[in-house]
Structure 1
Amino acid sequence: MNTKLEQRQKIRYRIRKKIAGTAEKPRLAIFRSNSDIYAQLIDDNQGFTLAAASSRDKDISAQKITKVEKSKLVGQAIARKAKDLNIAKIVFDRGGNLYHGRVKAVAEGAREGGLEF
């Protein structure tokens, strides 16, 4: 029997086999810890991060709201940064997490910000 962490790692590898980000259509990678959530726009061809946002950013962490609401703000922040880079379409990478709760909130925030998945 695999641990929860090992199961998530297997799912991450399975997802990454299928999707990859380019400069025109980068991968929106989500990492979720117990207390925070991080989002990155990644160009896998060049191997570097184009933009990043997290719930630890000063303007987001200063607010006294729930983790799900902070996650939505992270999605909107990454969408703003993508707009500055003239990026409209992305590939979503949920990082082995279920598309539910905070991960879903980031996706919804990014969509509201104008990103297309």
Structure 2
Amino acid sequence: MKKKIKGTGSKPRLYVFRSNKHIYAQVIDDTVNKVLVSKSSLAKKELGYTQSSANCATSTLVGCAIAKSCLQRGITQVVFDRGLKVYHGRIKALAEAARTEGIVF
């Protein structure tokens, strides 16, 4: 059973979804049901990466990009929501990249 994770205006929720080919990250304010920032591996040209999308290097780039976008909007703290996926591999790479860029969770 999954615990309900909620994001607020001061501490929104960083939701990460991993498919077989791509990884998606969204920062969501659950009080108003609004997506504040969204990045994914679909925009490889924006990330500056041309290789496969299903690896840890791409996840690291997405983590850095989501963190930079959050910091530009003044978001420094988030609640991490990985869904039912294990904190391992591509999800862990995204989370650690966001932490190194300055996001606290």
Q: State which of 62, 71, 74 in structure 1 corresponds to 2:62.
A: 74
Q: State which of 10, 16, 21 in structure 2 corresponds to 1:35.
A: 21
Q: CA deviation at 1:46?
A: 0.3
Gaps of 5+ in 2: none
Tell me whether 1:59 sits opposite 2:46 in the alignment. yes
Please give the root-mean-square deviation of Cα atoms over the aligned residues, in Å: 1.5
Taking the TM superposition and a 5 Å limit, the aligned residue runs for 1:2-41 are 11=1, 14-15=2-3, 17=4, 19-41=5-27
Gaps of 5+ in 1: 1-10
Tell me whether 1:94 sits opposite 2:86 in the alignment. no
Which one has the bigger helix percentage?
A: 1
Aligned length: 103
Moved over 6 A (4+): none
Q: Deviations over 1:57-78 (max 9, x none)?
A: 1323742266111001101000
- TM-score, normalised by the number of residues in structure 1: 0.82
- TM-score, normalised by the number of residues in structure 2: 0.91
Alpha-carbon separation, structure 2, partners of 1:25 and 1:114: 14
